[in-house]
Amino acid sequence: MPSHQEKMIHHFPRRIILVRHGESEVNEDEGVLEHVPNHKIKLIKKGTEQARATGRMIKEIVSEEEAWKVLFYVSPSNRTRETMDEIISRGRTFEKNRIVGVREECRLREQHFGNFQDLEERRKIKRSRVRYGKFFYRVPEGESSADVYDRVSSFLEGLWRDMESNKFSNEMNLIVVSHGLTILLFLMKWFNWTVNQFEELANPANCEYRVLELGPDGEYSLASYHQLDELKKWGLSDEMIEDQIIRARGLQPFLDRKCLVAPTNDSASDDSIGDYFDEK
C-alpha cells in the first residue's frame, strides 16, 4: 500500500519550468522606457523567434510522458504574454487539448523601476545597485529585490497549498513565463538560498529556461535536467550544486557512494548531473 508521501508525490506536477521573456524593444533601444510604460514594452522579431524555438524545446521535455499536460502562469507584461503566445505558437506547438489553462499572475511581474524612466538615471541606478547589493537596494520610487521576493513568496505559498491539496497530477507541467530577476527570486525562495548566494547568481538570458523536475523523494531539483557546467555558469556554488544533486537523486545514493562533495573536475563538467549516480 503506498505511503502518504508517495500519494502526495503522485499529485505533484512533474516539472516547473521558468522562462524569461524574449528580446524586447528595450534590447534595441533602452530609451524607449522614457516614453513607453515598462509593462507595455513588446517583443521584437528576434524575441518572437526565440520564444518559438524555446516552445519547441520545452515541448520535447514535457512530452516524455504520454498523458502530459501544461498549465501556464504569466506575468501581465506585454512581452511576457507575447512570449507565452509564441511558445504555444497558437496551437501549433502546444495543442489546445494539452493546455489545462493560462493564469495571469501579477505577483510575477517585473521589478518596478518607477514610471517613465530617464535613461541616464536608470544607468546610475544600476551602478548604485551593484555597489550597494542587488537584493536590498531600493530603486527610488520603485522596488528592491527584497520587495519582489516578498510577492514571489506569496505566490509560491499559494502554489504549495494547491500542490498539497491535490489540485495537480504527476503528468502536469507548470510553465512560468516571467522576468529575469523574478525568476532568480523564485529559485531563491524555493531552494532557501541565502542573500549572499543570490548575489552571485547570473540573470537568465532572454528566453532561457530553468527546469525544476520532481525527484524520487518528492523534492524538485535543477539537477535532473540541467548539466553541472550550466549550474556553475549560473552562479551556483559547490554547496548549492551538492544540494541539487541530493534533491534529484535522493540522499541514500549519495551516502552509498560516500561522496558528500559535488564533482568539480573538468571531465565531470561535461556529464549530466542526472547521470552522476548511475553505474558506469
CATH number of residue 172's parent domain:
3.40.50.1240
Asked, for residue 274, whether it belongs to a domain, the answer is: no
Between 264 and 204, name the one with better pLDDT.
204
Tens digits of residue pLDDT in 94-118: 999 999 999 999 999 999 998 998 8
Question: Which residue range(s) make up the domain with 167?
Answer: 4-112+146-214
pLDDT digits (tens, 9 = 90+) for 189-246: 999 999 999 999 999 999 999 999 999 899 999 999 999 999 999 999 999 999 999 9
Give CA–CA dist 18/72, Å, rounded. Answer: 10
At residue 92 the predicted structure's pLDDT band, cuts being 50, 70 and 90, is: confident
* Residue 248 resides in a domain: no
Give the span between the Cα atoms of 203 and 195, in whole angstroms.
Answer: 15
Annotated binding site for substrate: 20-27, 79
pTM summary value: 0.88
pLDDT of residue 91: 66
Tell me the pairing of strands 220-221 and 209-214. antiparallel
Name residue 176's beta-bridge partners. Answer: 18, 73
Please tell me the predicted confidence (pLDDT) of residue 169. Answer: 87
Phi, psi of 200 (to 5 degrees): -90, -5
Do the domain assignments include residue 233? no
Is-contact 57 226, C-beta < 8 A? no
Domain count, the chain: 1
Give a yes or no: residue 166 inside a domain.
yes
Active site residues: 21, 110
* Pairing verdict, β 15-20 and 209-214: antiparallel
Q: Which residues are annotated as a binding site?
A: 20-27, 79
Quick check: is 261 in a domain?
A: no
